[in-house]
Every structure is written in C-alpha cells, then in structure tokens.
C-alpha cells in the first residue's frame, strides 16, 4: 500500500475493505459521499485502480483543453494564463440542467509530484455563478504495477437553487471522474501518440520536479 498517498487522502482510503479491493481490482470504482459542515452538498471521493502508469493518467487530466471532448456537459475549456509552468488558470463553460444559463468559471489547476513517484493535481475554482467555492484534487499513485487514482471534490453552493441542484451536481462529479478514466483507457489503447504528447507536456510543466 502506498503510504504517501494514504497519508494525504480521506480516512476512508486508509483501509480498503476486502470488498472494496475486489471492486478496484475488477475495474470498478469505490465511491464515497461525506457530509461536510460548511456545505449542503457532500464531499465526493472516487477511487479507481487503472492499468496505466501514473504519468499516463496525470497527463490526460493535465490537458485541460481536451476536457470538452470527453467530460459531460463541458462546452469549452480555455487556458487563460500559466502563472508558472505547473499552474494553469483555465476558463470553463458548462451546460447546466433544467434550462438554466450555463456556468462560467475560472479554475486554478496545479500539478505537483509526490515522493512516491505519483502526482497530485489540485483545483480551486473562483468566479462561479451557482456556487461560492469549489475545491478538489486528484491523487495519482503507483500501486503494484498499476495506478491508484483518488479524486475528491467539495462544493459550497449558493442561492435558492442549491437544494434543487444537489443531485445533478453530485452526479456530474461522479460522471466526470468516470469519463476521465474512460479517456485514459481510450488513449492508451487507440491514441498512443496523443498520450505521449501529453506526457511530454506534463514533464515540461513539472520541469524535472
């Protein structure tokens, strides 16, 4: 078990049950929803065990401008600036349910290396229409020749529609991680050149970190 990964992850992941490990080994996700005092929406944590390297998984996530091609309801993603090579300021446009106007926000995305040969990519969203804050991270760690991916995301909603949007918002979080996993698998099998290009971009962003 990768101690560095567990040390930075929610308590649920400190000890997987036999059933959870069986699900992960079978390619199925382990999903948790945790109530948080400051929000009416839960913190959503999702784990997958993937047949790829940490670099392959992290490089797909880091390519933010590819998001509209595979993430549900992502209409556009445009890198506004890079304050440093391992940090991106990305503007997203998302389709909203129930004929609501689209959500437009800027996400500060940062990638770092872990001491175990993995990666952590975190995001902090500002200028939201339907939420006060949105913060999260994806931890990508090597595990027995595979890659353990753990995503967690917390949103503090705002406005009268907070309760109305809770279910579709939580569902979107889950679907987004599932879509990321599918994209990683697709690129590894069918688009190795794209994957290699993304890995090179990730390496350049980290500058040997």
Whether 208 is covered by a domain: the verdict is no
Full residue range of the structural domain in which residue 190 is found: 21-202
pLDDT of residue 96: 84
Residue 69: CB atoms within 10 Å: 11
For 35-45, how does the pLDDT look when each residue is reduced to its tens digit (9 = 90+)? 988 888 889 99
Q: Considering the entire predicted model, what is its pTM?
A: 0.87
**157: number of Cβ within 10 Å:** 20
- The predicted-structure confidence for 138-177, as pLDDT tens digits, reads as follows 999 998 899 999 999 988 888 766 666 788 788 889 999 9
Say how many C-beta atoms besides its own lie within 10 A of residue 188's C-beta.
17
Rg of the chain over all Cα atoms, to the nearest angstrom: 17
Please give the biggest Cα pair distance in the chain: 47
Q: Which two tokens stand for residue 125?
A: 């969203």
- Whether residue 8 is contained in a domain is answered as no
pLDDT of residue 119: 96
Q: Would residue 16 count as lying in a domain?
A: no
- Spatial CB neighbours of 194, under 8 Å, sequence gap ≥ 6: 187
Bridge partner residues of 147 (DSSP)? 50, 142
pLDDT at 158: 81
Is 90 inside any structural domain? Answer: yes
What is the reported pLDDT for 131? 81
State how far the Cα of 171 lies from the Cα of 13, in Å rounded to an integer: 21
Coil, strand or helix: which one is 116?
A: coil
Q: What's the total number of domains in the chain?
A: 1
Q: C-alpha distances in angstroms, 176 versus 44, 117, 180?
A: 12, 25, 6
Q: Is residue 14 part of a domain?
A: no
CATH for 174: 3.30.530.20
pLDDT for res 209: 53
- For 174, what's the count of Cα atoms within 13 Å in the CB-facing half-sphere? 15
Residue 152 resides in a domain: yes
The pLDDT value recorded for residue 13 is 47
Q: In this structure, is residue 66 part of a structural domain?
A: yes
Q: What would the two tokens of residue 91 be? A: 């503007």
Position 52 in a domain: yes
Question: What DSSP element (H or E) covers 54?
Answer: helix 54-62
For the chain, residues with pLDDT lower than 50 are: 1-13
- Report residue 77 as tokens: 């993603």
* Ordered alpha helix ranges (H), 106-191: 162-190
Cβ distance 5 to 148 under 8 Å?
A: yes
Q: State the pLDDT at residue 167.
A: 82
């Amino acid at each position: 078990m990768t101690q560095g990964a567990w040390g930075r992850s929610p308590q649920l992941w400190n000890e997987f049950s036999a059933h959870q490990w069986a699900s992960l080994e079978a390619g199925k996700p382990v999903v948790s929803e945790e109530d948080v005092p400051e929000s009416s929406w839960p913190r959503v944590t999702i784990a997958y065990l993937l047949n790829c390297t940490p670099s392959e998984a992290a490089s797909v996530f880091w390519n933010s401008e590819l998001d509209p091609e595979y993430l549900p309801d992502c209409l556009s993603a445009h890198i506004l600036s890079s304050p440093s090579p391992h940090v991106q300021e990305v503007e997203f446009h998302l389709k909203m349910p129930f004929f609501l106007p689209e959500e437009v926000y800027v996400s500060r995305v940062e990638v770092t290396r872990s001491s175990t040969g993995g990666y952590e990519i975190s995001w902090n969203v500002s200028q939201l229409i339907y939420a006060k804050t949105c913060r999260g991270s994806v931890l990508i760690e090597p595990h027995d020749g595979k890659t353990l991916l753990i995503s967690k995301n917390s949103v503090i909603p705002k406005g009268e529609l907070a309760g109305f949007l809770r279910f579709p918002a939580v569902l979107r979080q889950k679907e987004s991680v599932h879509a990321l996993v599918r994209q990683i698998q697709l690129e590894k099998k069918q688009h190795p050149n794209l994957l290699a290009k993304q890995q090179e971009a990730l390496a350049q962003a980290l500058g040997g970190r």
